[in-house]
Amino acid sequence: MRRQRGFTILEVLIVVAIIGIIAAIAIANYLNAVQKARQKRTMADMRSIGVAWESRAVDTKSYNAAGFTMPATPLSYAQLTTLLAPTYMRNIPSIDGWGQPLQFALDQPIGGVSAAEYAIRSAGRDGQFSGNTYASGPTTSFDCDIVYSGGTFIVWPEGTQSQ
């Protein structure tokens, strides 16, 4: 009598199902971790730019580069670089963790009255800004804007983020 060796189709299907379940859980956690990492990178870049602006304000006694409801005077990346690089920050980030451009603004045009406020914002994962007025506090969606002004975050991600 010959003995057959190997696995039955049922055993193979059970193993494949278990691997599939584990993979589904791991992939969902991985994708969430990637989005959180992009948020944290964006926040770190915004904080670094804010620190450079604050350092410049200490030296010049004005921001001439700053504001909030989102300040009315947009500031281009080139203008920001002229004001801050290389004295206050060598490499100024221009994009957020999702590859979208950061937006900079101030409450006064450059060269006019000294600006009192500045703001930096990221549109989040969806790349769409949700207006110019923000309620201060945490957000729970990767698509929400992240806003930094006056040395602190106005709107920031906190807790479990929704997909």
Residue 1 placed within a domain: no
Output the pLDDT for position 154: 87
Residue 147 placed within a domain: yes
Residue 88 placed within a domain: yes
Residue 74 placed within a domain: yes
Domain count, the chain: 1
In DSSP terms, 104 is beta-bridged to 75, 120
What are the pLDDT tens digits along the chain (163 aa)?
667 788 899 999 999 999 999 999 999 999 999 999 999 999 999 999 989 888 877 776 655 433 348 888 999 999 999 989 999 999 999 999 999 999 999 888 887 778 778 899 999 999 999 988 888 888 999 999 999 988 888 888 988 888 6
Residue 2 placed within a domain: no
In DSSP terms, 157 is beta-bridged to 139
Output the pLDDT for position 61: 63
Residue 69: cis peptide before it, omega within 30 degrees of 0: yes
Residue 91 placed within a domain: yes
Output the pLDDT for position 67: 33
Domain membership of residue 49 as a residue range: 9-162
Output the pLDDT for position 3: 72
Please state, in angstroms and rounded to a whole number, the distance separating the CA atoms of residues 37 and 7: 42
Residue 3 placed within a domain: no
